[in-house]
Structure 1
Amino acid sequence: MRPPSVPSHGRHDPSLLRKPRLTAPVARRDAGLVAGIGLGGLVGNFLGLIIGAGIFAVPRDIAAAMGPWGPLSYVAGAITMGAIMLCFAEAAARVPASGGIYGFAATAFGDYWGWLSGILLWAGNTLSSAAGAVATVAAASLFVPALAGGLPQAFAIVALYVALVLMNIRSIATASRFISAATLLKLVPILLFLAIGAAHVSPINLQAALPAGGSPDIGRAAILGLFMFTGIEVGLGVAGEVRDPARTIPRAIAVALGAAALLYTGIQVVAQGLLGNALADAPAPLAAALGSVSPALGAMMAVGAMVSIIGYLAGDMMSSPRTLFAAARDGYLPAVFGHIDARHHAPQMAIVAHAVVAGALALSGSFQALVIASMLITLIVYVIGCAAALRLRARDVAQAGPVARVPGLWPAAIIAFAASVWLAAQSTRAEAMATTALIAVATLLHFLRRKVAA
């Protein structure tokens, strides 16, 4: 019998498909959710996840690695992420299920790969969320020094997550509107930076010379450039709540990536034009760059950093818990995490659980360590997602109606595979072992669940 979640079309022989899986059909898994997210809300969610803490710190490291050639790092990052997201766009449109890659990887390869990709994505998102919370409180400590450590810092992190939970447990529409508003608010200081800073750019600072006459560090610049676009895949966690997903998802990805690439390139050029090679040594690059024009403007950029990161955290709190929700609906986690509140139509326990884990990590880890761990885990998710897109196209799976084929899917997948493998090779032995241990634990949970089901 053919699995109900993987239809057969035309020349595809149903006997070639796997036996019925433990994964719940999409219709049952998403029962109770409301398709309340349109193009504007999804683009706002994507931009809120992409534009976070990185843009207020990474320009310094980009300048140190590439000097005035730094903007090319964002171009390379956008191309690589664009290739990855082309694959994700088609896969998510073919299987628009809550949990994003968790849903379409399970449909393509079976329960194990759906579970593995879903739990890795959630783990990476949780680490990123924790890093964002640490960065938010660190930015606030510029105005309230007591928040730099100890109990005040811990209380601030807890209060931040409590506020995010209270907002998200009400409804998906409320959270989506907040994220869209936060995205617009975070863009205000950035756009002011571009407008004011561009008028004070010194052409001599844009000359093609690296700091201290060094040579370009292309590898580091490529990693940083790609990192600046990570997070967009998190937004696919709400695919089961998007109106007309086959059209909305690919369009939202294209608009968000294009807008972010233009924004990042402009910021790097202006910052370099204001500070020159001194940008490579600025601890808060955008605040320092605008502070060279006016100290008050520098303080404004520090506030903008906090707004930006909180917008990212809000987007993550809306999207990431849906992976726990989908896993619970499929029997991998306790059923309580798959419960939908009858009044607000939100997976409240999944949201609370995500906040508790992320908050605990934020209280115990450093920003740099959390970011590195998140990036390594996310690369594995990218590889699984791109492979799933190829498999779903080969099987002509389309669970929400006809799906337009993304042009250049195979070249995009090859670029994504090559970039992910190369970046993963930059990890240390300890980091590789930690990632392997996480995969081992996820694998053990999968087989335990199969044994119980049997």
Structure 2
Amino acid sequence: MTSRTPGTATDAPPARPAPGDATTGPGPRGGLGLGQGTALYIASVLGTGILALPGLAAAAAGPASIVAVAAVFLLSIPLAGTFAALAARFPDPGGVASYVRRSLGDTAARMTGYWFYFGVCVGAPVVAILGGEYVVAVLGVDRAFAPLIGLAIFVPPAVANWFGVRVAGWVQFVLTGLLLAVVVGVVAATVPAVESSSFTPFLPHGWAGVGTAISLFVWAFAGWEVGTHISGEFRDPRRVIPIATAIAIVVVGAGYLALQVVTVGVLGDRAGEGVVPLLSLVEATAPGIGPVLVAIVAAIVTTGVLNAYLPAFGKLGAALGRDGDLPRFFAKGAEDGGVPRRALALTGVLIAIYFTVGYLNGFDLTALILIHTSNMVAIYAAGMLAATLLLRRWSAGWWLAVVATGLTFGLLVLAGPNLLVPAILALAAIVVTVIRRLRRRRTAARAIPAPVPAPAHDTRLETTA
């Protein structure tokens, strides 16, 4: 993508590039290869959902929750495929916001950037607290220690990303490998305990329960957009990103389906009980090592998810500074291979604020989760609409974008009143647009020289003549 000088963005829709052009920014490409990139994608999606969602979905739909998982998995394919096509062709740290800028203009791009940076960032404390809740339950200590454990979980990914995405990529490769090993181990250990009677009745709550379970698993399959923000860090984004996405789709779908089957088959009606359903699952088959195994899962999952999201937030913050949507001070590190330490520091401040808000409301995470998911739905709708305008018409990527656009706008309607925060952030983006236009007009007015008055007409000369 052609670089933009910070502060020179205009609010008129930019010239649309040739559809399908694979433009890249100046400077060397990053160091992420297929293994590291696949690990980042898997951790972005196969994340905290495995800690709670299998039990919650089973409580909502019973055995039919397996259908819900399969449905969301199939629905996520066009979404993930579209993001892969965009990231491979237009690698830019602005991610979805940069695609929206190309097709819908600067104000819409500013909205999208704010939705992700200020809205989706609310989910970071949620991830940490979920991990803290699991560790507290395993250790049997007071729940008041969960926030402290959650803060401690932030330390490793913060340190790793401070030294660059390349370091974070290798860390993610190890963490994701451990995560997959644990998931496979849990499934293998619990499959012998699956009982066929647990799958009847198959629809205890009707199809409405399946709809609720689908809504829950939207959280689980969110995260495909994270790779767009670090697409410039891949050595060969056009080749690696589609392959990494395809591998991640298969691994994530198989992982969630397998966990849902054993959750229903082993726990039955007890699947939705308690705060930590995965703990109940492993204790039913391996009571001796169950608690230790769950503690490992919680630590790996939460650390891995944060390690995947922090570089995305950092790169986006730097891109927003580069494009004039945040102060230019934060633009450092937006270039390919750069480390956006200033934007990462700002991200840390935002997370600390949200963490404090969570502490003040007793860490009732429902409100924070709703803010996170509503912003995600708004981002997906804008991103898919942009994709239909940017990708070559009638190509495979374009068809995926068309299907995904319809699906995401349906989710936007379902979000309803939860769209209040995205609406506020959109209004803030419009206000910034108005302020910038007024400033440009004042600057242009000061730059125009005042007219030089014409010399006074001397009537004495005429009299003399």
TM-score normalised by L of structure 2: 0.83
CA apart distance, 1:118:
1.8
Distance 1:345 1:428, change over 3 A: closer
The one-letter code matched in structure 2 to 1:107 is R
SS at match of 1:243: coil
Tell me if structure 1 keeps the 8 A contact 2:153–2:299: no
Tell me if structure 2 keeps the 8 A contact 1:78–1:226: no
- Alpha-carbon separation, structure 1, partners of 2:35 and 2:288: 33
Match of 1:138 in 2: 133
Aligned counterpart in structure 2 of residue 307 of structure 1, from 278, 300, 310: 300
CA apart distance, 1:415:
3.4
Match of 2:408 in 1: 420
Aligned counterpart in structure 2 of residue 281 of structure 1, from 253, 273, 277: 273
Distance 1:32 1:354, change over 3 A: farther
* Structure 1 segment 92-131 matched on structure 2, within 5 A: 92-131=87-126
CA apart distance, 1:294:
2.4
- Alpha-carbon separation, structure 2, partners of 1:143 and 1:209: 32
1:353-385 deviation per Cα after TM superposition (whole angstroms, max 9, x unaligned): 112212321232232221111111111111111
Tell me if structure 2 keeps the 8 A contact 1:102–1:114: yes
Name whichever of 260-269 and 272-281 sits farther off: 272-281
The one-letter code matched in structure 2 to 1:323 is L
Distance 1:441 1:85, change over 3 A: same
The one-letter code matched in structure 2 to 1:80 is L
* Count of aligned positions: 423
Distance 1:58 1:141, change over 3 A: same
CA apart distance, 1:307:
1.6
Aligned counterpart in structure 2 of residue 443 of structure 1, from 414, 430, 436: 430
CA apart distance, 1:338:
1.3
CA apart distance, 1:153:
5.0
CA apart distance, 1:238:
0.3
- Alpha-carbon separation, structure 2, partners of 1:373 and 1:169: 27
Tell me if structure 2 keeps the 8 A contact 1:63–1:272: yes
CA apart distance, 1:98:
1.2
The one-letter code matched in structure 2 to 1:221 is A
Tell me if structure 2 keeps the 8 A contact 1:37–1:176: yes
Distance 1:236 1:341, change over 3 A: closer
1:329 equivalent in alignment to 2:322: yes
Tell me if structure 2 keeps the 8 A contact 1:340–1:347: yes
CA apart distance, 1:57:
0.5
Match of 1:58 in 2: 53
Match of 2:343 in 1: 350
Distance 1:18 1:422, change over 3 A: closer
- Alpha-carbon separation, structure 1, partners of 2:404 and 2:333: 36
The one-letter code matched in structure 2 to 1:433 is L
CA apart distance, 1:4:
6.1
- Alpha-carbon separation, structure 2, partners of 1:157 and 1:214: 37
Match of 1:9 in 2: none
CA apart distance, 1:154:
4.8
SS at match of 2:262: helix
- Alpha-carbon separation, structure 1, partners of 2:14 and 2:254: 44
Identical-pair percentage: 24
Q: Which runs of 5+ in 2 are unaligned?
A: 5-12, 359-363, 442-465
CA apart distance, 1:448:
2.4
CA apart distance, 1:84:
1.6
The one-letter code matched in structure 2 to 1:292 is A
Match of 1:221 in 2: 213
- Alpha-carbon separation, structure 1, partners of 2:369 and 2:381: 19
1:195 equivalent in alignment to 2:188: yes
Q: Which runs of 5+ in 1 are unaligned?
A: 7-16, 397-404
- Alpha-carbon separation, structure 2, partners of 1:435 and 1:4: 29
Match of 1:230 in 2: 222
- Alpha-carbon separation, structure 1, partners of 2:163 and 2:439: 34
TM-score normalised by L of structure 1: 0.85
Match of 2:85 in 1: 90
1:259 equivalent in alignment to 2:251: yes
Match of 1:12 in 2: none
1:216-264 deviation per Cα after TM superposition (whole angstroms, max 9, x unaligned): 4132122122221101211221011112212222221121112100110
Tell me if structure 1 keeps the 8 A contact 2:23–2:91: no
Tell me if structure 2 keeps the 8 A contact 1:99–1:322: yes
CA apart distance, 1:416:
2.4
- Alpha-carbon separation, structure 2, partners of 1:226 and 1:20: 32
